[in-house]
């Protein structure tokens, strides 16, 4: 009697494990699919052009992913809540200008300047969050306005001229181009991106903040009625997202050893494209950091590969557009299948 | 024998798992206002949707002037002269009155250009005909609710309707506006036309209708002459069934300790002077018709809606609850009637849902301890017998009953003292209902206190120690379990609180509580 009961219990546990495994498998399938597309692209370009699969070129691809990648990481949080952030492109530029100002005009030590650059991004994110959560301005509008404010401020503060950080010893080397690992051609900026991705991934999957990010995106009203202070958490989530914008600004400055006040516009759309290719739903509630990283890599592999094949830039844009459509459509089909 | 304007017979309609109408019948004479009454869920709205061509019946016949018709589509219903005025208006707030009425049928010049002047002229002509006081050029969003209602009616009549069906047309109107509305209806009714009038306000039926058709549980019950029938008889017909004695709550009596006291609670424009107490270990049922204000009370208590006056005391201490987060931290949980939209994260898994209100409990320095969450989820899956393959199952894949249990588990994990259940068994099958009932009884036995809002009277009668009845934003009375019956609940629930009560209640069956 006890024996059969135990056996039944064991079977139940086993079947639970099995179905849990299935659920997990289905979730990772999405990422597998994105990853497979990335590999397919790499394979295709390697065959198409002998210049593609070279250490120097691969390292180039990674380096060119860093700024958009960092922006995409932050905006993944915002998009999972069901919002959108259009201010990250010019916001990144403003952070870049501020970082340069902190280090040169205000004479802060490098590390303090970097920290302040990141915190400035957090401040901008916090303002976005305040506009969205407290004043209930739709995120599209709030961040569109913020995008313009940031673009303007970057020009005002810099006096429309680049601010050079050459005199900040080691800045470019440590935060962008230096290669810390002997024998590896990968520059530091890439490691910073991957470190940031790991932090973002942990934040999203292992912390309260991450859990609320998902729950606000899947059902804000239910989350509020469950006793979660949605207003407060939304501000926090936007603030965290802003940190990544700030970091992107810092890296962009280090890479060029200068803050270029006129750039940045359009980067937000590339970042959003990376997030979407990575399987994060603009409707909110779904998405992952690993998907975003792969999405960002797909974007830069595509651009780099097409350049190497001497496809004119205007056609590269067409190709990227088509890839975005394909990626999102395939994702929708897959989801539909999953629900049926 | 003259032919009936409208005759419906033998109509059946099922939805997956529910028989909404069975052998429904109804007839409407020329020059008549026929009232249609029934409890929530009796099948009124299904019947209306059949008549307006939104649903197609499984079987049955519809005849207009003796001619059998098959209504296929809303457009066809309009062509047949059937117009329905829904409780919620379908008006475009930013267009003018005339633009709303003739939407899709605008008079054109040269087949291409709109003629605003011709449009307004046409509307004015219509208003003169049916004797409505409206300005065609007013923006609909600027009008009062009563005027908007008039626009809806004018729109319906502009289709040369012969059969007008109105779903609680006066629910949002004051007495003067109701009188105007009734004039309009009398004006409309003639040898060619008829009105089906759905309302919960018994005094109104007396004033406007010729006959009253009662339906219950999707079936036709009876049609009576309004003249020769008392409203009590109508209510008896509506309620019908009596519930057996052994379904009354367990002998467990609530303690005297007051855990929640609400005094003078009001919200802007709706709830008026709400006073009640909830005792430890008590299930306080809230009965009333749809839109009586029961959900609004719950939302006001947990801070989801703003209150404009009144106080809330928890165990004798006055508290100010600005949002549901504060309510939760004070141990008050609200389980919404709308599980899918307001209760659950459908796309998230069972354990996420169970832990949602108490994530801080499962984390240190903001980092979540997934193991602890999982084991707690497992405990409650076991305790509440939630049928799910695992705690990692997505909530949307579970049945209604199990979803409800997840929501209950969420608040149990939070260890709330006071639980407000809004329609706890809506959309749940019979077996699962029983389990939810047992669960509620267990909870009060453990010293929790429950407010249970329900539209199912048998459920209210079976579980509640006391029953508070609401009508039109006010509490119209309290009944103890012993004295409560479906009849006296319905009587309190259909009281017109804005005007005089037509049939005073016998003192024995209902007392106005002054506590």
- The residues, ordered by sequence, that sit 6+ positions from A218 with a Cβ below 8 Å of its Cβ are A284, A285, A286, B345, B346, B347, B348
C-alpha angle with apex A283: A277 to A289, nearest 5 degrees? Answer: 45
pLDDT of B515 over the 80 cut: no
Q: Using 50, 70 and 90 to split pLDDT, how confident is the model at B250? A: low
CA distance B406 to chain A (A): 12
> From CA A37, how far away is CA A60, in angstroms rounded?
20
CA distance A260 to chain B (A): 37
Please indicate whether, in this complex, the C-beta atoms of A227 and B389 are within 8 angstroms of each other: no
- Looking at domain A34-335, does it have CATH number 1.10.10? no
Closest CA to B458 of B305, B171, B185, B242: B242
pLDDT attached to residue A22: 61
Of A207, A228, A286, the CB nearest to B356: A228
Of A206, A227, A285, the CB nearest to B324: A227
> From CA B78, how far away is CA B163, in angstroms rounded?
10
Taking the Cβ of residue B477 and every Cβ of chain A, the question of whether any pair is shorter than 8 Å is answered with no
The DSSP secondary structure of B314-337, one letter per residue, reads ETTEEE---SHHHHHHTTEEEE-S
Q: A-chain residues within 8 Å CB-CB of B406?
A: none
Q: Number of residue pairs across A and B with CB atoms under 8 Å?
A: 98
* B491-502 mean pLDDT: 63
Residue whose entry in the numeric block shows the structure tokens 């608040």: B411
Taking the Cβ of residue A212 and every Cβ of chain B, the question of whether any pair is shorter than 8 Å is answered with yes
> What is the Cα B158 distance to its own chain's centre?
29
Please indicate whether, in this complex, the C-beta atoms of B356 and A208 are within 8 angstroms of each other: no
CA distance B218 to chain A (A): 32
Of A210, A225, A231, the CB nearest to B304: A225
Taking the Cβ of residue A338 and every Cβ of chain B, the question of whether any pair is shorter than 8 Å is answered with no
Q: Is the ipTM of this complex over 0.85?
A: no
Q: Using 50, 70 and 90 to split pLDDT, how confident is the model at B430? A: low
Give, for A23, the enclosing helix (H) or strand (E): helix A2-48
Of B342, B348, B363, the CB nearest to A214: B348
> From CA A236, how far away is CA A211, in angstroms rounded?
13
pLDDT attached to residue B500: 39
Please indicate whether, in this complex, the C-beta atoms of B366 and A19 are within 8 angstroms of each other: no
pLDDT attached to residue A24: 59
pLDDT tens digits along B37-53: 887 667 888 888 899 88
Side-chain half-sphere exposure of B229, counting CA atoms within 13 A:
24
Please indicate whether, in this complex, the C-beta atoms of B347 and A223 are within 8 angstroms of each other: no
Side-chain half-sphere exposure of A113, counting CA atoms within 13 A:
26
Of B342, B370, B392, the CB nearest to A222: B342
In terms of CA atoms, which chain B residue is nearest residue A230? B325
Please indicate whether, in this complex, the C-beta atoms of A227 and B390 are within 8 angstroms of each other: no
pLDDT attached to residue B513: 39
Q: Using 50, 70 and 90 to split pLDDT, how confident is the model at B231? A: confident
Contact A177, A255 (CB under 8 A): yes
> From CA B274, how far away is CA B296, in angstroms rounded?
11
pLDDT attached to residue B509: 38
pLDDT tens string for chain A (340 positions)?
444 555 555 555 555 555 556 655 665 666 677 788 889 999 999 998 888 888 888 888 999 999 999 999 999 999 999 999 999 999 999 999 999 999 999 988 989 999 999 999 999 999 999 999 999 999 999 999 999 999 999 999 999 999 998 888 888 888 888 887 777 788 999 999 999 999 999 999 889 999 999 999 988 988 988 888 999 999 999 999 999 999 999 999 999 999 999 888 889 999 999 999 888 888 888 899 999 999 999 999 999 999 988 889 899 889 889 988 888 887 777 767 655 5
pLDDT tens digits along B317-337: 999 998 999 999 999 999 988
pLDDT attached to residue B232: 77
Token pair belonging to B6: 């409208």
pLDDT attached to residue B510: 39
* B445-454 mean pLDDT: 92
Start-to-end C-alpha separation, chain A: 40
> From CA A187, how far away is CA A178, in angstroms rounded?
5
The structural domains of chain A, with segments of one domain joined by +, span 34-335
pLDDT attached to residue A27: 58
pLDDT attached to residue B292: 85
Choose, out of A80, A225, A339, the residue to mutate when testing the contact with B (most B CBs < 10 Å). A225
> From CA A323, how far away is CA B222, in angstroms rounded?
65
* DSSP three-state, residue A314: helix
* Structural domains in chain B plus CATH codes: 1-81+161-241 (3.40.50.300), 91-159 (no CATH), 257-341+417-493 (3.40.50.300)
Contact A37, A298 (CB under 8 A): yes
Please indicate whether, in this complex, the C-beta atoms of A226 and B357 are within 8 angstroms of each other: yes
- Out of A244-248, B88-92, B363-367, least confident range: B88-92
Of A208, A210, A218, the CB nearest to B348: A218
pLDDT attached to residue B376: 92
Token pair belonging to B319: 């508290």
* B95-116 mean pLDDT: 84
pLDDT attached to residue B506: 40
Rg of chain A over Cα atoms, rounded to whole angstroms, equals: 22
> From CA A226, how far away is CA B295, in angstroms rounded?
16
Task: Enumerate the H helices of B189-292 as residue ranges.
Answer: 202-208, 231-239
């Amino acid at each position: 009697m006890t024996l059969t009961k135990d056996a039944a219990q064991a079977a139940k546990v086993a079947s639970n494990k099995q179905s849990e495994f299935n659920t997990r498998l289905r979730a990772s399938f999405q990422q597998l699919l994105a990853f497979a597309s990335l590999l397919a692209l790499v394979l295709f370009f390697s065959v198409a052009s002998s210049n593609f699969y070279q250490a120097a070129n691969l390292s180039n691809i990674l380096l060119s992913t860093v700024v958009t990648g960092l922006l995409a990481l932050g905006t993944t949080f915002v998009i999972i809540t069901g919002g959108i952030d259009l201010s990250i492109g010019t916001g990144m530029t403003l952070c870049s200008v501020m970082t340069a100002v902190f280090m040169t005009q205000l004479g802060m030590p490098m590390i303090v300047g970097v920290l302040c650059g990141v915190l400035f991004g957090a401040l901008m994110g916090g303002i976005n969050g305040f506009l969205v959560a407290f004043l209930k301005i739709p995120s599209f509008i709030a961040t569109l306005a913020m995008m313009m404010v940031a673009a303007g401020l970057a020009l005002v503060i810099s006096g429309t001229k680049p601010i050079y950080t050459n005199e900040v010893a080691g800045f470019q080397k440590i935060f962008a181009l230096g290669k810390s690992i002997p024998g590896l051609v990968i520059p530091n900026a890439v490691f910073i991106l991957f470190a940031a991705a790991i932090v973002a991934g942990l934040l999203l999957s292992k912390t309260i903040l991450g859990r609320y990010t998902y729950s606000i995106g899947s059902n804000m009203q239910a989350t509020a009625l469950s006793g979660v202070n949605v207003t407060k958490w939304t501000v926090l989530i936007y603030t965290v997202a802003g940190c990544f914008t700030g970091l992107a600004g810092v890296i962009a400055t280090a890479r060029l050893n200068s803050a270029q006040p006129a750039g940045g516009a359009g980067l937000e759309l590339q970042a959003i494209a990376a997030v979407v290719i990575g399987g994060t739903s603009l409707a909110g509630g779904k998405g992952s950091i690993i998907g975003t990283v792969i999405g960002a890599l797909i974007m830069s592999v595509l651009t780099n590969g097409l350049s190497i094949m001497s496809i004119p830039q205007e056609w590269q844009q067409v190709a990227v557009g088509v890839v975005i459509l394909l990626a999102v459509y395939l994702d929708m089909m897959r989801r539909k299948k999953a629900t049926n | 024998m003259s032919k009936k304007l409208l005759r419906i017979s033998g109509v059946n309609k099922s939805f997956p798992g529910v028989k909404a109408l069975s052998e429904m019948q109804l007839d409407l004479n020329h020059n008549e206002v026929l009232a249609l009454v029934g409890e929530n869920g009796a099948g009124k709205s299904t019947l209306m949707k059949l008549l307006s061509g939104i649903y197609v019946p499984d079987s049955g016949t519809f005849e207009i002037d003796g001619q059998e018709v098959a209504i296929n589509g809303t457009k066809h219903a309009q062509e047949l002269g059937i117009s329905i005025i829904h409780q919620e208006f379908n008006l475009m707030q930013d267009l003018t009155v005339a633009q709303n009425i003739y939407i899709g049928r605008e008079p054109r010049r040269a087949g291409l250009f709109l003629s605003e002047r011709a449009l307004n002229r046409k509307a004015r002509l219509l208003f003169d005909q049916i004797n409505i006081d409206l300005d065609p050029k007013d923006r609909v969003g600027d009008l009062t609710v009563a005027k908007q209602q008039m626009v809806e009616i004018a729109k319906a009549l502009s289709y040369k309707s012969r059969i007008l069906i109105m779903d609680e047309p006066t629910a949002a109107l004051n007495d003067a506006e109701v009188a105007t509305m009734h004039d309009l209806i009398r004006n409309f009714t003639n040898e060619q036309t008829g009105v089906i009038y759905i309302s919960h306000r018994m005094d109104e039926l007396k004033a406007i209708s010729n006959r009253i058709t009662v339906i219950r549980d999707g079936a036709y019950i009876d049609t009576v002459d309004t003249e020769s029938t008392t409203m009590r008889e109508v209510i008896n017909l509506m309620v019908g069934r009596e519930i057996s004695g052994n379904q009354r709550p367990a002998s467990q009596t609530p303690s005297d300790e007051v855990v929640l006291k609400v005094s003078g609670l009001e919200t802007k424009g709706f709830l008026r002077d709400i006073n009640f107490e909830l005792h430890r270990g008590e299930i306080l049922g809230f009965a009333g018709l749809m839109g009586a204000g029961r959900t609004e009370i719950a939302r006001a208590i947990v801070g989801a809606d703003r209150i404009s006056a009144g106080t809330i005391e928890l165990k004798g201490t006055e508290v100010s609850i600005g949002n549901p987060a504060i309510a939760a931290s004070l141990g008050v949980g609200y389980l919404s009637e709308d599980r899918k939209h307001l209760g659950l994260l459908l796309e998230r898994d069972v354990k996420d849902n169970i832990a949602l209100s108490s994530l801080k409990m499962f984390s240190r320095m903001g980092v979540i301890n997934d193991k602890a969450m999982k084991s707690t989820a497992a405990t409650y899956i076991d305790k509440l017998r939630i049928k799910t393959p695992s705690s990692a199952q997505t909530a949307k894949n579970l049945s209604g009953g199990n979803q409800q249990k997840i929501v209950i588990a969420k608040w149990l994990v939070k260890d709330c003292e006071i639980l407000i259940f809004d329609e706890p068994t809506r959309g749940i099958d019979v077996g699962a209902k029983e389990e939810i009932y047992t669960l509620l009884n267990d909870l009060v036995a453990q010293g929790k206190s429950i407010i249970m809002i329900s539209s199912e009277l048998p459920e209210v009668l079976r579980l509640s120690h006391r029953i508070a009845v609401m009508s039109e934003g006010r509490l119209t009375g309290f009944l103890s379990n012993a004295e409560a019956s479906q009849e006296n609940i319905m009587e309190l629930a259909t009281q017109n609180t804005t005007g005089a009560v037509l049939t005073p209640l016998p003192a024995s069956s209902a007392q106005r509580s002054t506590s």
